[in-house]
Structure 1
Amino acid sequence: MTFPYPPTRTVEVFEDVAGVRVPDPYRWLEQETHEVRRWQRRQAELATAVIHDGQDPGAVRDLIRAYDSGSRPALPRFAAGRWFRAVTPPDGVAPMVVVADQPFGDGRPVIDLAEFGSEESPAFLSWLAPAPDGRVLAVGVCVDGSEHNTVRLVEVASGRVLDGAPTQVLHSAWAGGVSWLPDSSGFYFFALTGSPQEFRQEVFLHRLGTSPGDTTVEPIPVGEGSREYTLVQISPDGRWAVASHRVGSPIPVAVRDLSEPGTAWRPFVTDCPGTIAGHIVGDRYIAVTDVAAPRGRVVAIPLDAANPNDPAGWTELVPEGDTVLRSLCPVGEHLYLGEFDQTFARVRIIDRAGAVTGEVPLPGRGALAAPFFALTALAVGAPADDFVFAFSTLTSSWGVYRHRPGETQLETLSAPTVTLDAELEAGWAVAPDGVAVPYHVVRPSCGDPTRAAPTLISAYGAANVPLLPQYQPDMAAFVAAGGVLVQAYLRGGGEFGRDWYQAAHRERRHVRDADLVAVAEHLIAKGLTTADRLALTGGSDGGLMCGVAVTTRPDLWRAVLPREPLLDLIGGIRDPYLDFVIRKAWADPDDPAEVRRLLRLSPYQLVSPGVFPAVYIQAGATDPRCRPWHARKFAARMQAAQEGEEPILLHVFDNAGHGAATPHDVAVAQDTEWLAFLIRTLGLRGCLSRPGPT
């Protein structure tokens, strides 16, 4: 079948990277010109027409909305005995923030974010942080889906927007928004020093009641030229400040004694390739670390240590065990220790000496809600006396619960709304090097396990980020439509500790791709599916995984669906943000041998004429991380190279970014088209069903 793709010209452009000459025939698609936007719009129109041909888009959208009702809620933030949370009215396009005496009490509105946006550019709440005294609320507002947000200050009693908020733009919410001083007089925040494209950031200090021009750069010694994220943590008593540095594997890089005016920041743990992620407890930094413990242990480091880089001076509170220790959350005099037990959540309670005093009775085998990166999880705000958390499983949606130290039962604050009529099973495939790669299968109860089923693999395997056994509305809708979901835990992710992550890091990145192929071939050999009924999806770095899979093993797939993808590693070097990511996680682009290795892993450069499966690439027009030109260039090259009958489709959505700040209606439209493509390609027509009661 021939598809009417928009005409796409090529150019004679070559990029010289460390002496390696790389052709780039679609370089012109990196620009945001009228020609490119017109081409992009025609691609989107074609994708929508092909995908929805013969389908009822309304029925698919209704299915997405039904399962979206179980989406992960935003957890409330505690301050001065009250709870602040975001609420989106059923007919509203922007959320409002309410304050209540209980985490999910009715409360009263503080601010409606609609006043910060417009009908064309609705405001998105990136984060919220009430001052410790509860009098002022700081919120991060994004209006274009990009994640770039600015600080707004609201008087809680009146709802009045205060003058004098800092004007710097925050690149994202990855550094937690703002870190309030315990006396509520001001806050630290991490923001851009120039344009977002330059990707230069610093920690700033802002005092309430001053003008934006009085906001000052905080001279934290993080190392010259570092582009890593930094989050300031402050002890509840106001004495200590710690600067945690690095978004994926944070370390407490600097410390400051605030009790002595004029005392400068001094280096703390600066020489550490691993993770030290924790909180200030008294005069110690108590943290989960993978130093000398790949699965993690809990240690205490004196904040006045003479040589904090030497682990011999650390006190071990909880030794390494069979589970993977991941996070700590201070609750009163206790610390709640988050762990992974074969990917499933476990939470133990320890005292400040490391003694285990109890375990949280979780509602099932699933996952706690957690930020994407470990650094963001350190932004806990004012300490509460209760442990409030969100929890879900692969087959039941998110609920919110409260646990009080010493109690044996949970309190349900917000019950799950969706239960998937499906069965869960576990399995593993053997990678080429003999390592077992685990996966979970979510199969509709009405399916026949003896017959090959339309199957979707979802995977990530990068950046020490764990893929958790949690509820995902789009995946749930796919299962409800009759598909089988396989969630694969590939090396490079954070599910099984530091060794699992490092096994597919930098020069070993190809291991992730081999793990994926091993899972796909295992599922086919087992008879769960066949190559003509198997699809693959992944986002961001997982989108790159999809690009490698479709160009190197097109025979394995019926459909491949990259979302918000990174697809051109060579072109990414010209983008300051991606240059930072590539140097950190992939290779040194100043080394010719490393550049040649990048070429063997970069999907855009891997495209050559051949027969490819159906491809649907989805991207956001305002994505600040994987800019839409990655998707445009890859789609153009794939369309030109396709010698088979299947479509290569591209849809770049307006007012959408990398996902974290995309407006809800745009996200629903994205999920609807994504699911409709799977229904069309895998033959799921007529299987649509609605969620049953929980």
Structure 2
Amino acid sequence: MNYPPARTVGVVEDVAGIAVPDPYRWLEEETPEVRAWQREQAALATSVIFDGVDVDAVRDLVLAYDAGSRPALPRYAAGLWFRASGSGVVASRLPYGEGREVLSLDEGVLSWLAPSPDGQVLAAGICDDGSEHNTIRLVEVGSGRPLDGPVQVLHSAWAGGVSWLPDSSGFYFFALTGSPEEFQQAVFVHRLGTGTALEPVPVGTSKEYTLIQASTSWEVASHRVGSPIPVAVRRPGQEWRPFITDCPGTIAGHIVGDHYLAVTDVGAPRGRVVAIALDDPDDWTELVPEGDTVLRSLTPVGDRLYLSEFDQVFARVRILDRAGTMVGEVPLPARGALSAPFFPLTGLAVGNPAPCFVFAFSTLTSSWGVYSHRPGGDLETLAAPSVTLDATIGEGRAIAPDGVAVPYHVVSGGSTGAPVLVSAYGAANVPLLPAYQPDLAAFVAAGGTLVQAYPRGGGEFGRDWWLAAHRERKHVRDADLVAVAEHLIATGLAAPDRLALTGGSDGGLMCGVAATTRPDLWRAVLPRAPLLDLIGGTRDPYLDFVIRKAWGDPDDPEDVRRFLRLSPYELIRPGVFPAVYLQAGATDPRCRPWHARKFAARLQAAQEGEAPILVHVFENAGHGAATGHDVAVEQDTEWLAFLIRSLGLRI
């Protein structure tokens, strides 16, 4: 391959007393030289990937299965349902009924929406560059008249957007206090017609996310995005007081009367439901004990509680009364998954109490539908799935080096000897769900077989499964992945010359480790929006926050040595590597595009084989959540074309 030249520099970083050479440090900068190099790499990637491939046919396939993308759930307030529709927000009397446009978007992506409890004002988060950074727009529902709102920028939608006060006079929100690059955030309160002020929630100097939950009697500050706890409480108008401040586990719940009803893994790795008295943090009552399923979230609906859980990764929803007694179960359409935020904290932003439980549901072979259920009633289909994949679902288990069985699902169109794509994540207590993903469905429709693996580190099987590949045990995730790949080859489901791997974000790091440490296993590796340089990540305030949580202490020499053994950029040595296609977003605030640039440059220089090492940084694309639809389609088209080219598929 005739790659755009990438010079090296003699930079050596001192990290906790350890000298770390960084020959491609210059690619971290956003200079004209770097942008030109990035454009040349993108042009090369496109020319190589689409050589001999029918671009229009691939795009048509992507669009056909993208039709099953997750629908936006409507939000309820004062007899109205608000939902994203086209390029705006519509309000109607029924969840998906004909309605009136309340907010029109000429440009930008809707990150979230939150109507006031009285239905008079709509708050919405708007992102205009794919980055997830969004600003709050306020409109008067009756007239569509814009209202003055806060000027602060929200780093993402992870804290739920805004939390309205019950009297609709204003709302709390969590936003940046400076530039996005500084990654300093705080809680603010905005009162309609008055203005915005900092809200002094006692959470110290932590960069962790905080979401305020408000009722007429209590306000609760839930703190920590991945394992939230009710860190502070108060009566409205009174001072905040610390509540549960020293707890390594998760306590994720809602205010119900004078109690905080929550799912917790404290004393129960698979979860239990408790009621905590809001006037006494030591007064806990167990409502639902730990069982065989993994409890995930709780949603109050009237005088009932809808308890979402995982039964061997498949969704189950039980209905409880306020005392925790089971009074029913939601008859789900099939064995599949409910739509849910990545992190428990975001799931606490349920908005105004709705008269029914509204949820999105899909399977590995059928796209997202939207359903509602009322206590004592039947399941109602609000929006039916639009795509059904002609494939079967199987399952298997691979045995990791320490004897633990690592499960996976197989989605196959029935072709014998079809190329196999492994998709996995295994990090941050985030569950990889048995749910519909348009890009993966398009790969199966193109003749491939999908293996969705569940290595340790994810949230599929409870707290112990997560912690088994957390911080100093991060390497366990990589060993689990190798065990799955070797098992697929040993059982004849896959062959090394037709086996590919993909993953995003921390899953992109997993891909980088796999490509550099076991290149013999893979024909192609496709990291998306990847984290690839752990040492460099410690210089980024956001990633420094993530690395300290999930990996270790960059100020500890032993932890730094461990980083060096697990950081893909540092693992590159001259050798023969599989085909690699790195896809990144120019405005990604989480895994900045320089990760893909530096890794690609170093791997291109180290490649002694003939397989291409390609990188494409897409403009106006971020980490995925706020990337515009047209850009996402182009990303998926190139990603799928690379697989088609690398694995010899024909469409």
- TM-score band, normalised by shorter chain: over 0.9
After TM superposition, list the pairs within 5 Å mapping 1:118-137 onto structure 2.
123-137=108-122
The equivalent position to 1:225 in structure 2, one of 205, 208, 224, is 205
After TM superposition, list the pairs within 5 Å mapping 1:466-481 onto structure 2.
466-481=431-446
The equivalent position to 2:252 in structure 1, one of 277, 287, 305, is 277
Cα deviation, residue 271, structure 1: 1.1
1:593 aligns with 2:558: yes
Cα deviation, residue 239, structure 1: 1.4
Partners of 1:413 and 1:158 in 2: how far apart?
A: 28
Alignment match, 1:534? 499
Partners of 1:373 and 1:321 in 2: how far apart?
A: 22
Unmatched tracts of structure 1, length 5 or more = 89-94, 118-122, 689-694
The equivalent position to 1:457 in structure 2, one of 422, 433, 452, is 422
Alignment match, 1:215? 196
Cα deviation, residue 524, structure 1: 0.3
Cα deviations by residue, 1:607-645 (Å, 9 ceiling, x for unpaired): 010000000000000000000000000000000000000
Partners of 2:201 and 2:372 in 1: how far apart?
A: 36
Partners of 1:145 and 1:486 in 2: how far apart?
A: 29
Identity across the alignment (%): 78
Partners of 2:256 and 2:620 in 1: how far apart?
A: 42
The equivalent position to 2:101 in structure 1, one of 85, 99, 109, is 109
The equivalent position to 2:483 in structure 1, one of 511, 514, 518, is 518
2:100 counterpart letter in structure 1: R
Partners of 1:512 and 1:324 in 2: how far apart?
A: 20
Cα deviation, residue 225, structure 1: 2.1
Q: Secondary structure at the match of 2:131?
A: coil
Alignment match, 2:17? 19
Alignment match, 1:191? 175
Partners of 2:84 and 2:192 in 1: how far apart?
A: 23
Alignment match, 2:75? 77
After TM superposition, list the pairs within 5 Å mapping 1:577-616 onto structure 2.
577-616=542-581
After TM superposition, list the pairs within 5 Å mapping 1:487-566 onto structure 2.
487-566=452-531
Cα deviations by residue, 1:343-367 (Å, 9 ceiling, x for unpaired): 0000000011000010000000000
Alignment match, 1:357? 327
Partners of 1:267 and 1:601 in 2: how far apart?
A: 38
Partners of 1:386 and 1:170 in 2: how far apart?
A: 30
Cα deviation, residue 514, structure 1: 0.2
Partners of 1:590 and 1:227 in 2: how far apart?
A: 18
Alignment match, 1:239? 217
1:439 aligns with 2:408: yes
Partners of 1:63 and 1:648 in 2: how far apart?
A: 25
1:43 aligns with 2:13: no
Partners of 2:510 and 2:68 in 1: how far apart?
A: 28
Partners of 1:422 and 1:48 in 2: how far apart?
A: 30
Alignment match, 1:403? 373
Partners of 1:180 and 1:125 in 2: how far apart?
A: 18
Partners of 1:666 and 1:199 in 2: how far apart?
A: 26
Q: Secondary structure at the match of 2:389?
A: coil
Contact 2:217 2:257 in 1 (8 A): no
Alignment match, 1:148? 133
Cα deviations by residue, 1:649-684 (Å, 9 ceiling, x for unpaired): 000000000000000000000000000000000011
Which contiguous aligned blocks of 4+ residues in structure 1 show a shift greater than 4 angstroms? none
Alignment match, 1:92? none
1:426 aligns with 2:372: no
2:14 counterpart letter in structure 1: D
1:102 counterpart letter in structure 2: L
Partners of 2:326 and 2:533 in 1: how far apart?
A: 48
Q: Secondary structure at the match of 1:375?
A: helix
Cα deviation, residue 108, structure 1: 1.0
Q: Secondary structure at the match of 1:274?
A: coil
1:288 counterpart letter in structure 2: V
The equivalent position to 1:314 in structure 2, one of 256, 269, 284, is 284
Partners of 1:113 and 1:209 in 2: how far apart?
A: 24
Partners of 2:516 and 2:145 in 1: how far apart?
A: 55
Partners of 1:254 and 1:80 in 2: how far apart?
A: 29
Partners of 1:411 and 1:428 in 2: how far apart?
A: 35
Partners of 2:78 and 2:162 in 1: how far apart?
A: 17
TM-score of the pair, normalised by structure 2: 1.00
1:301 counterpart letter in structure 2: I
1:300 aligns with 2:298: no
The equivalent position to 2:235 in structure 1, one of 257, 261, 276, is 257
Alignment match, 2:241? 266
Cα deviation, residue 113, structure 1: 1.0
Cα deviations by residue, 1:271-330 (Å, 9 ceiling, x for unpaired): 11010001000000000000000000000000000xx2x4xx310000000000000011
Cα deviation, residue 385, structure 1: 1.4
The equivalent position to 1:374 in structure 2, one of 329, 344, 349, is 344
The equivalent position to 2:164 in structure 1, one of 180, 185, 206, is 180
Cα deviation, residue 376, structure 1: 0.4
Cα deviation, residue 158, structure 1: 1.1
Aligned-residue CA RMSD in angstroms?
0.6
1:144 counterpart letter in structure 2: D
Partners of 1:160 and 1:543 in 2: how far apart?
A: 44
Alignment match, 2:623? 658
Cα deviations by residue, 1:507-527 (Å, 9 ceiling, x for unpaired): 000000000000000000000
Cα deviation, residue 453, structure 1: 2.5
Cα deviations by residue, 1:563-607 (Å, 9 ceiling, x for unpaired): 000000000000000000000100101111110000000000000
Query: How many aligned residue pairs are there?
Result: 651
